[in-house]
Amino acid sequence: MEYNPQMKNRVKRIEGQMRGILRMMEEEKDCKDVITQMSAVRTAIDRTMGLIVSSNLVGCVLEAEKLEKSDQKDFIEEAVDLLVKSR
């Protein structure tokens, strides 16, 4: 799968947020603030996973159209399994 610049930028932003959380912990910031930032990272990861999975699903469906009927089902099921795991 090809990962576009938008996907990569999201991961870089998440990486920066994680470094910020670690810095907050090292500076012994209030736990409420740390948890708030961790929640933001979790949301960002969930959205990034959704973007990647949806892109993969579209790619799989387009690729499945090129296959024989007997192979299409397995190909699409694999894409759907990834979608389910991401939730």
pLDDT tens digit sequence for 2-38? 899 999 999 999 999 999 999 999 999 999 999 999 9
Q: Single out the residue of 17, 41, 40, 21 nearest to residue 31, CA to CA.
A: 21
List, for residues 38-59, the tens digit of each pLDDT value.
Answer: 999 999 999 999 898 888 878 8
Residue 23: its pLDDT value, please? 98
Supply the range of the domain harboring residue 74. 5-85
**What pLDDT score was predicted for residue 28?**
98
Between residues 47 and 69, the one the model is more confident about: 47
CATH assignment of the domain containing 58: 1.20.58.1000
CB atoms within 10 A of CB 76: 16
- Tell me the whole-structure pTM to 2 decimals: 0.78
Number of domains in the chain: 1
Let me know the angle formed at the C-alpha of 68 by 63 and 71, rounded to the nearest 5 degrees.
Answer: 75
Task: Convert the pLDDT of each residue in 12-21 to its tens digit.
Answer: 999 999 999 9
Candidates 30, 75, 81, 77; CA nearest to 53 is 81
Tokens of 41: 């990272």
Mean pLDDT, rounded, of the chain: 88
What H or E segment, with its residue span, contains residue 29? none
